[in-house]
């Protein structure tokens, strides 16, 4: 099975280990992973800020970059959801709308792909930690994936998964929202960190690097000893 990895901007720049762990997990389960080197941003920051005409440039580039892919897999529910929204940009352009739909039909967030396409839940991971899981907004509300991450984490040997209160609440990142509304964003992430602390977990797991960067930064500034990891890192763990 041939898989093209769309690593995303945040993983590429800030969390390269997430890309590495994603590749290793996929390869261990029979995938031939390719990495198109000319991939760029999915266009989500511009799209969410209302610059739709400018967004089309990045979108067309992405569609062309992954045109020959059998499957496109991303370690991000947020960016995966963005790829599914591409067709909305081309409602008045049948050719590009069709190409956008073709890309959407073969696009999956990592845990989605593992559970729904590869039909695997026990990845063979080992992680002796007490953890809690942050449910990102775009993954649950736009991508509508709420079960796959838990199906995988429940099979990780040694992992104690504590429920997170108000798990449906946003962490306050929201891409450009955290830049435009910093005071509100700060209060939102402070509340999220409080709920995480209340679980007694020593590890926070998530499936979107943006959320993890925001929450992890607040945890560090608060001086709390809570480790933060992307789910790909946990699924590739052997300790």
Please report, for residues 50, 65, 82, 118, the alpha-carbon distance to residue 58 in angstroms, rounded to integers and kept in the order given: 14, 10, 12, 30
Q: Domains in the chain, ordered, with CATH? A: 2-116 (3.40.50), 121-235 (3.40.50)
51: region left, alpha or beta (phi > 0 left; psi from -120 to 50 alpha): beta
pLDDT digits (tens, 9 = 90+) for 159-203: 999 999 999 899 998 878 888 888 999 999 999 999 999 999 999
**What is the pTM (predicted TM-score) of this model?**
0.94
pLDDT digits (tens, 9 = 90+) for 72-120: 999 999 999 999 999 999 999 999 999 999 999 999 999 999 999 999 9
| Mean pLDDT on 209-222 | 95
pLDDT digits (tens, 9 = 90+) for 114-157: 999 999 999 999 999 999 999 999 999 999 999 999 999 999 99
């Amino acid at each position: 099975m041939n898989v093209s990895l769309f690593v995303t901007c945040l993983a590429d720049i800030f969390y390269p280990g997430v890309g590495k762990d994603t590749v290793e997990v996929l390869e261990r389960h029979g995938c031939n992973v390719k990495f198109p080197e000319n991939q760029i941003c999915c266009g989500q920051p511009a799209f969410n800020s209302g610059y739709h005409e400018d967004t089309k440039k990045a979108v067309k580039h992405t569609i062309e970059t992954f045109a020959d892919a059998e499957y496109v897999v991303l370690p991000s529910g947020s960016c995966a959801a963005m790829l599914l929204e591409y067709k909305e940009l081309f409602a008045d352009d049948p050719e590009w709308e069709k190409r956008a739909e073709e890309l959407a039909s073969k696009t999956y967030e990592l845990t989605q792909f593992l559970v729904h396409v590869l039909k695997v839940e026990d990845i063979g991971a080992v992680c002796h930690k007490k953890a809690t899981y942050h449910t990102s907004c775009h993954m649950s509300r736009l991508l509508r994936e709420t079960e796959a991450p838990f199906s995988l984490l429940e099979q990780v040997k040694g992992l104690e998964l504590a429920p997170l209160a108000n798990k449906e609440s946003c962490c306050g990142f929201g891409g450009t929202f955290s830049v435009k509304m910093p005071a509100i964003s700060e209060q939102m992430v402070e509340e999220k960190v409080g709920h995480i602390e209340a679980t007694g977990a020593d590890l926070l797991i998530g499936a979107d690097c943006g959320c993890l960067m925001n929450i992890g930064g607040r945890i560090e500034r608060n001086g709390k000893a809570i480790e933060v990891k992307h789910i790909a890192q946990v699924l590739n763990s052997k300790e």
